[in-house]
A and B are shown apart, each in its own frame.
Chain A
Amino acid sequence: MIEAIGTYLPPWGATTARDAGPDEDAVTLAVAAGVQVTGNPDRTPVRRVVLVSRDLPLLEGGNAAALLAGLGLAADVEVREQLGGAPAALEAVADAASGTLVIGSDVVGRAGAAAALCSTRGGEITTTGRAQRSLPVVTRDASGAVTDYADPRLLRELGVAVSLERAGVTEKVAAVAGLGSKEAAALGDDVVPTLPTLGASAPLFAVAALVERHDRGAVLAVEQATVAVAALGEGAIDVARDEPPAQPIPTGSHTPGPDISISLAAYERAFDDKLRLEAARCTTCGTLAYPRRHRCLGCGSEAPSDTVPLPRDAEIYTTATIHVPVPGLTTPYTVVLAELGDSGVRLLVHLTGTPPGTVAIGDRGRLVFRRVAMRSGVPDYGYGFLPTLQVPSEDEEVAA
C-alpha cells in the first residue's frame, strides 16, 4: 500500500518539461522528492530505499550513502539502486514491503523525481500485468552515447500495442506513465493526467495526480516495448509536492578548463557533516562547530563532541556573484554566506533554484541538498541556498 507520495520538479525549463539545474542529478532530485515524505514522525519509518533511475551518477557505486545522507536516513538503511524506467518503478511500488521508500528519479529528458512511502496503510496498489520485450528504438550506453532508430510508428504498433495485448490490457486505463500526452490520451479513459516526466518517476506522478482528483483505477507504465500495469485501489494517500513555477534556465557561459581536483581523503572526512548538515557541539560549553574541529571555538576543549543537526532555514549575511570566467565552471554564479536559523552557525554555499545575482543581504530561504561541484568525476554533494519564493501579498495583487 502507498502511504504517502512526495514529488519534486526543478524550477527550470518549461512548465510541462523541466530541466535539471547544473547542481542537480538523479541523487539530488531523489532527495528533493524523498524529503517530502521522510522526516515525519507520524509516518512509517523507512527501512529500505529503492532508487529507480536510468541516470544514476556513480555507476561504480557511491550513490547510496549520498542518498541516505540527503534523506536524513541512517547509514545502515538498505538501498537498492535499480536501473529502470516507468514500468520498473511501478512494479517496485506494487511489490514493496512495508517501510520501503521507492523513488523514481529522472534527469535526462524531462527532469523530475517522485517518492512513494509504502507500508501497510494507505492506498492499495497491485500489479495486474506485465510484458517485457526488447525493441530498443533508443539506446544509451554507459558513456552516455545515444542512438535513435527514429521510428515512432514502429514503436507504437510493434512495440506498445503488442505489449499491451500480451499484458492483458484491453480496457482504457486511468493514467499512463512513460508516453507523450497524445499517445497517453489514446490509451486512457476520459482525461488521463498530464505528467511532467516520462521515466521512473512518471508512474508515481500518475498516482499522485489520481489521488488529488479522487480518481482510482489502472495505472499503465511504458518504457519502449516494456509495459507494466497496476490497479490503484481506495485508501488515503498523502501527497506533498515541491514543484516551483518554471522559469528559463539561466544561460551562463562555460569556460573550458582542467579537471577540478579533489582530495578523496578530505571528501571522506567531511562527508557526513557536509551531506547531513550536522554540526559538532562541544560537550563542555555547548558551542557549535561547523565544520567539526579538534579544538572548540568557544572554550578550547578538546573533548569528544556531540553531533547535532543544523537548522535549514537561513538568511543571507553576505553574498558575491562571480562574473569573471572561471576555468571549468559556468559563470555567473553566486555564493552566499548563510546564517542558519538562530544557531549562530554560518555556511558558505552556492545560490540555487534562482538565477545568479538575484538575491541580496537579508534575504531568507532554506538550505537544500545539491551537487556543489563535479571534481575529477566525483559529484561533490552538499547544500545550496534556495531563497524563499516571493509570493505577492493580496494587497500587492489588488494594487497590480
Chain B
Amino acid sequence: MRRVAMVGAGMTRFGEHFDLGIKDLVPMAVSEAVASVDKGFDRADVEAAWFGELVSTDGFAAGILADSCGLLDIPVSRLENACATGNDAVRHGVLGVASGFYDVVLVVGADKVRETSARSTFWDWMGMTRDMAWDFPLGLVAPANFALHVSRYLHESPATREHLAMVAVKNHRHGVTNPKAQLRFEITVEQVLDAPMVVEPFGLYDCTPQSDGAAATLLVAEDVVDRYTDHPVWVRGVGLGLDRVMHAHKPDMTTFPATVKAAKQAYAMAGVGPDDIDVAECHDCFTGIELMNYEDLGFCGRFDAYKLIEAGETSVGGRLPVNPSGGLKAKGHPPGATGIAQCTELFEQLRGDACNQVEGAQVALAHNIGGPTAVSAVTILSNQPA
C-alpha cells in the first residue's frame, strides 16, 4: 500500500449562497484546491474523482462535477454516506491512490441545503434518513434525532446545558476570524441559554446553521508528490464505522459506536493514539455532540468531556484545540462538503497557514457522525510521513 499525500485543498465560503448554484460552487472549490498546490497543478493530471453529495441538486451529481470542472475524460463517482459523506469520500480517494490504481485523484464534496424552501427541506431530508413506516411519521427532525442522544447523555453525565453552551461560545469565537465561516460573531453562554428553544435541550445557538458550500482536495501517491509540493500533508489514517440504524436498537445512547469504530480504524492505520492529536475538527452539528465526540474519539474518559470544555482545553491555545475553523456550528454545514472542509482546515493547520493557527501542529483528526447517528468517518492527517 502506498502512502497518500494531500497536496491541495480549498473550499468556498459556507453560507446561504442564493446567488450561486451547485454548478458554480463545485468548480469554485476545485479551482481553489488547484490554486493551493505549491508547485502548480495541471488538472489534466487528475485520473479519477469522487463527489460527495447528500441530496441531489440540479440533477445527476457525478455528471455535474465532471461537466462543471472540465473533467469529462476520467471516471467520476458520486458518494453518499449521510453526514459522514465528506470524510468517507476522502477515504475512497485514499483507497484509489494507496492501491496503486491512480496516482492523482480529486475528492469534492458539496451540498445546497438552502436550494429548497425550508418548508419542504425538513421532510425531504427526513425522508432520506428515516424509516418510512416507523420513524418518518413521528416528525423526527434532525435536531430531535441528536437531542435523544444528548438528553440521555446529560442525564447520565455530570455535563449540563451550560457545558453545551460553552461549546457554542468556543466555536463561534473561533469562527470570527475564519473568512470562510457562515456565522462570524461571538456569543455568550447567557445568549445560548436564553435563545429560543429548537429541540430540548438545544436552543438556537446549540445548532448548526443551514448552509450551502463546496470543498475539494487533491490526493497524490508518494511516488509523485515531489511534482506538486515540498510540504505535503499525509493522509495517515482513515476509518469508517457503522451502527444500528434505528434509535430503538442502540442500547447505550450516550456514546456513538460508529465513531468509536471509525476512530479505532484510523488510529491503527496511522499508528497514533488520541494523545498524539494536536488539533481536531469534529462533527459539532449540535453542541452536545461535540462533547460526546471527545469521549468517543478518546480525548478524555467517559463522561469527562465537560472538564475539557470547562478548562478551555479544546480552545485554540488549549491542550487540544477542537474546531479551530469554527466547526459546523459557526463555519456552517453543507453536509457533503463538511468532512472535506474539515480536511481543508487541517491541511492549512499542518502547513502552518491556518486562520486560527495551532502552533506546531503535527497530527490532526477530522471526524463526521451522521445518518440517524449510524455512520461515522475519521481521517487522520499529519505533516510527518510516519
Give Cα A398–Cα B133 distance, bound, in whole angstroms. Answer: 49
Contact yes or no, B133 A266, CB < 8 A: yes
Contact A322 B199 (CB under 8 A): yes
List residues of chain B with CB within 8 A of the CB of A260.
Answer: 123, 137
Q: Assess whether B135 is interfacial by the CB under 8 Å rule.
A: yes
**A255-289, CB under 8 A of B: which get 1 and which 0?**
10110111100110110001000000000000000
Residue pair B246, A258 in contact (C-beta under 8 Å): no
A291-B120 contact, Cβ under 8 Å, with A317-B152, A320-B147, A321-B200:
no
Contact across chains for B137 and A375 when beta carbons are under 8 A apart: yes
- Residues B105-148 near A (CB distance < 8 A): 119-120, 122-123, 127, 131-135, 137-141, 143-144, 147-148
Query: Taking the complex as formed, is A75 at the interface, i.e. its CB lies under 8 A from any CB of chain B?
Result: no
Residues of B within 8 A of A261 (CB): 123, 127
Inter-chain contacts of B3 with A (CB < 8 A):
none
Shortest distance between the CB of B373 and any CB in chain A (Å): 12
9 sample A-B contacts, Cβ–Cβ < 8 Å, listed by A number: A263-B132, A269-B133, A270-B134, A318-B148, A323-B197, A326-B141, A337-B248, A348-B138, A382-B137
Instruction: List 9 additional A-B contacts (Cβ < 8 Å) besides A262-B132, A361-B151.
Output: A261-B127, A291-B133, A297-B249, A320-B147, A323-B197, A326-B141, A348-B248, A372-B138, A380-B137
A377, CB-defined interface residue at 8 Å = no
B141 contacts across to A, CB distance below 8 A: 322, 324, 326
Question: How many angstroms between the C-alpha atoms of A254 and B143 in the bound complex?
Answer: 19
Q: Which residue of B lies closest to A329 (CB)?
A: B139
Interface membership of A109, Cβ < 8 A: no
- Shortest CB-to-CB span from B150 to chain A, Å, is 8
Is B200 a contact of A345 with CB atoms below 8 Å?
no
Q: Is B196 an interface residue (CB 8 A)?
A: yes
Band of interface residues on A: 35 or more
A349 is an interface residue with CB less than 8 A from chain B = yes
User: Among A263, A267, A326, A347, which residue has its beta carbon within 8 angstroms of that of B122?
Assistant: A326
Distance between Cα atoms of A340 and B253 in the complex (Å): 17
- CB neighbours (8 Å) of A269 from chain B are 133
Residue B13 is within 8 A (CB to CB) of chain A in the complex: no
A335 close to B127 (CB less than 8 A): no
- Measured between beta carbons, the chain B residues less than 8 angstroms from A373 are 137-139
B92 interfacial contact with A, CB 8 Å: no
* B147 and A323 contact, CB distance less than 8 A: no
Please report B residues at the A interface, Cβ cutoff 8 Å. Answer: 119-120, 122-123, 127, 131-135, 137-141, 143-144, 147-149, 151-152, 155, 196-200, 246-249, 253
Q: Which of B137, B152, B155 has the most CB of A within 10 A?
A: B137
Q: Assess the A266–B132 pair: CB atoms within 8 A.
A: yes
Contact residues in B for A263 (Cβ distance below 8 Å): 132-133
Residues of A within 8 A of B122 (CB): 257, 326-327
Q: A318 and B151: CB pair below 8 A? A: yes
Q: How far is the CB of B356 from chain A (nearest CB, A)?
A: 30
Give the nearest-CB partner of A256 in chain B: B119
Q: What B residues does A327 contact at CB under 8 A?
A: 119-120, 122-123
Q: Which residues of B contact A257 (CB under 8 A)?
A: 119-120, 122-123
How far is B117's CA from A255's CA once the two chains are assembled, in angstroms? 14
Q: Report yes or no: A270 in contact with B133, Cβ–Cβ below 8 A.
A: yes
Contact B119 A321 (CB under 8 A): no
In the assembled complex, how far is the CB of residue A320 from the closest CB belonging to chain B, in whole angstroms?
4
A319 part of interface (Cβ distance < 8 Å): yes
Docked complex Cα distance between A382 and B138 (Å)? 10
Q: Mark each residue of chain A from 291 to 314: 1 if its CB lies under 8 Å from any CB of chain B, else 0.
A: 100000100000000000000000
Do B200 and A320 touch (CB < 8 A)? yes
Contact of A320 with B144 in the complex, beta carbons under 8 Å: yes
Residue pair A335, B200 in contact (C-beta under 8 Å): no
Bound-state CA distance A333–B140 (Å) is 10
Does any Cβ of B come within 8 Å of A328's Cβ? yes
Closest to B156 in A: A361
Distance between A239 CB and nearest chain B CB, rounded to angstroms = 35
**Closest residue on chain B to residue A344 by CB atoms:** B251
In the complex the two chains form, what is the Cα distance from A255 to B139 in whole Å?
13
CB distance from A272 to the nearest CB of B (A): 12
Cβ contact of A258, chosen from B119, B134, B137, cutoff 8 A = B119
A319 and B148 form a contact (CB under 8 A): yes
Write out the residue numbers on chain B whose beta carbons fall within 8 Å of the beta carbon of A347. 248
Are B200's CB and A318's CB within 8 A? no
Q: Find chain B residues with CB under 8 A from A346 CB.
A: 247-249
Instruction: Report B-chain residues with C-beta under 8 Å of the C-beta of A54.
Output: none
A357 within 8 A of B: yes
The residues of B that contact A375 with a CB separation of less than 8 Å are 137
Tell me whether A350 is interfacial, beta carbon within 8 Å: yes
Task: Output the nearest chain A residue to B138 by Cβ-Cβ distance.
Answer: A335
With A266-B133, A320-B151 as given contacts, are A326 and B139 in contact (CB-CB < 8 Å)? Answer: yes
- Nearest CB of chain B from residue A209's CB, rounded to whole Å: 38
A348 to B147, CA, bound (A): 13
A335 and B133 contact, CB distance less than 8 A: no
Taking CB as reference atom, which chain A residue is nearest B144? A320
Contacts of A329 in B (CB 8 A): 139
A349 to B196, CA, bound (A): 25
Known contacts being A269-B133, A327-B122, is A320 close to B138, with CB within 8 Å? no
Nearest Cβ in chain B — how far from A372, in angstroms?
5
Evaluate contact between B123 and A258: CB separation under 8 angstroms: yes
Pick from A258, A320, A357, A361: contact of B120, CB under 8 Å? A258
Contact status of A321 and B199, CB under 8 A, knowing A327-B122, A333-B139: yes
Within the complex, which residue of B127, B133, B198, B200 is in contact with A357, where a contact is CB–CB below 8 Å? B200
In the assembled complex, the CB of A254 is this many whole angstroms from the nearest CB of chain B, namely 12
